[in-house]
Amino acid sequence: MGDIKAKILSGIYDIVFKTKYYKHFNHPLKILMYHRFMDDEDEGYVLRKRVFEKQLIFFKSHFNIFGLEEILKLSEKEERRVRSPMVITVDDGYLNFYNYAFPLLRKYSVPATAFVPFNFVESGDWMWQDKNIYIIRTAKFDSFSFKWRDNRIKISKKSFQELMNSLWRVYNKCLPLSLEEKCDFSDELACQLNVRIPPKPVPEFAPLTWEQIKEMENYGISFGSHTMNHQILTELSKNESLFEICESKKMLELRLGHKVKSFCYPNGNFNEGIIEQAKVCGYECAVTTIRGSNRHLNDLFKLKRIGPSGGSMTSFLKSIYLW
């Protein structure tokens, strides 16, 4: 019954979508935003491999899928004649992208653009936010009041929603901190919750390797910068943000052996000053977390994206077509 409902809904959306945009040859570019993936048998709350495969099959039959840099090369006239253009992007450079998503992208010959924080791949160490997720999920306590400096943060795992709310509170608390302070925060959290942090990230949070990145480049996957350390750029000084933006481009180009043109704002945080720095550093475009389609590609440094729902087919279709 769910599949029949999804097919009917898909047909209705297609008719409305084509009526509204196709007659003018003005088709909004949909840029999809993914992060982490997992095997079908794994436990967790990120996108399962089989769900991603269903989504890819749907995209292949309803959209023209481009690489980000490929579609931005089109002239305005060429762009306006492309029906239902789509770009797939994946943030953060996790190993599970290579293990679960890349084989499917290769199977269906679908291009994608991945954004990697340089030092995450280079060092093989933890991403700062993942340490806290690991600590909280590993802790034996169902609820806990974590003292950080003069504040207390309520942490609860009594339900899935309470867990997600706790992770979100901790994440937001760390956003304005320096890298050193973020490390101190995680160490103190681990101490109070009596959790030992492994020296290297567990497989769920491990980064890609340069060898895997170079392999994927041979099969239609392009790579852009996501800063050096996934720092929140709007919380940094001008010199610090400029370093994060420019140095990551420079180092990625040295590692990959070619020009890096695209950039992704960590956490979606940017302002006009950050945009100007990205332009000065030589990027040609940047993606945001602003939800929506791109009906005009006049501002290539404020490209909107859509996070597809990983739930039912009906919710997935709504997440794609209603933007």
DSSP class per residue in 54-72 = HHHHHHHHH-EEE-HHHHH
- Tell me, what's the pLDDT at 315? 77
What is the third-level CATH fold of 2-124+202-321?
TIM Barrel (3.20.20)
- Tell me, what's the pLDDT at 176? 87
Please indicate, yes or no, whether the overall pTM of this predicted structure exceeds 0.75.
Answer: yes
Residue 64, beta-bridge partner list: 85
Q: Are 37 and 205 a contacting pair, CB within 8 Å?
A: no
- Tell me, what's the pLDDT at 268? 92
Spell out, as residue ranges, where the chain has pLDDT lower than 70: 1-26, 44, 79-80, 322-323
> Closest by alpha carbon to 53, among 314, 322, 313, 320?
313
Q: Are 261 and 284 a contacting pair, CB within 8 Å?
A: yes
φ/ψ of 15, rounded to 5, equals -65, -50
Torsion angle (degrees, nearest 10) of CA 195, 196, 197, 203: -90
Q: Are 30 and 85 a contacting pair, CB within 8 Å?
A: yes
Q: Mind listing the pLDDT tens digit for each residue in 186-202?
A: 999 999 999 999 999 99
Q: Mind listing the pLDDT tens digit for each residue in 34-43?
A: 999 988 777 7
Where in the chain do CATH 3.20.20.370 domains reside? 2-124+202-321
CA distances, 312 to each of 164, 298, 316 (Å) = 20, 34, 6
Q: Are 302 and 272 a contacting pair, CB within 8 Å?
A: no
Beta strands of 61-133 (E only): which ranges?
Answer: 64-66, 85-91, 112-116
Q: Are 57 and 105 a contacting pair, CB within 8 Å?
A: no
- Tell me, what's the pLDDT at 3? 57
CA 93 distance to own-chain centroid: 9
